[in-house]
Amino acid sequence: MFDGPVRERGVPSGDQVVVVTGAAQGIGAATLAAFAESGATVAALDANATALTATVASLAAGGNAVTAFPVDVTDESALTAVVADVERKLGPIEVLVNGAGVLRTGAAADMSTADWAALFAVNATGVFLASTTVARYMIPRRSGAIVTISSNAGAVPRAGMAGYAASKAAATMFTKSLGLELARHGIRCNVVAPGSTDTPMLRGMWPENRDPGEAIADLVAGSPTDHKGGIPLEKIALPRDIAAAVLFLASAEAGHITMQELLVDGGAALGG
């Protein structure tokens, strides 16, 4: 679930079309809400059709222009068809937000090949497929913005998260490299790298009976045993904090910013 609207100056207006992947919950849902409530026409993509329908229905009930397009970002043919459908039904895509992501944790030496493949399929290949598919529409129009939601784990080693960190590092560098290639076409590509954020994904890492307050306190304090620093701002992020950064990088106010990685982690990576 998202946790309320985010309103920023310079965000897309009602005649602009925004695509958000991973839009059913967490940061993706907050980003979807932020764009929709700022007046954009938004295509919401997610593999979880049930959760996506519920999220979109909630926003649409408030008069927002949001349409659900259930799709798995790892399915190239299905994704290609959905992007074409968005262009046909909603209009030219001007912003893509790569929000789809999965998490697998555990010691690297114990990680299965299946878990490694699942992480890269969504977190890296999904970003590649969505970005290149949408970019092919943007290039002839010489306009557009792509924002990938990565992780500060893509820049700072994390014990028990080797596969996740590697997949996010791949997504980050792909997005920056794509930005270099697309700059001549007037298309900007940037990365938002969250730290610990209060989402179902984060809470899913905690033992079933773990007190949320204690779990958050531990994240804030850090873990010397795992060589993990704490969070200088002494709090974890809310999904809307990440959404605000995405909206800024997609906006006209960031019109001269490309190939950048914006850490939104309360200082956890010490500036990365």
- Closest by CA to 220, choosing from 202, 208, 207, 241, is 202
Backbone CA torsion sign across 271, 184, 173, 97? positive
Q: Which residues are catalytic?
A: 164
DSSP category for residue 74: T
Assigned token pair, 264: 């939104």
- Closest by CA to 93, choosing from 35, 51, 149, is 35
Query: Nearest 10 degrees: CA dihedral of 51, 53, 55, 58?
Result: -140
Query: With b meaning 16 or more CB within 10 Å and e meaning fewer, what string describes 142-173?
Result: eebbbbbbbbbbbbbebebbbbbbbbbbbbbe
- Whole-angstrom distance, CA of residue 55 vs CA of residue 265: 25
Greatest alpha-carbon pair distance for the chain in Å reads 53
- Whole-angstrom distance, CA of residue 18 vs CA of residue 72: 18
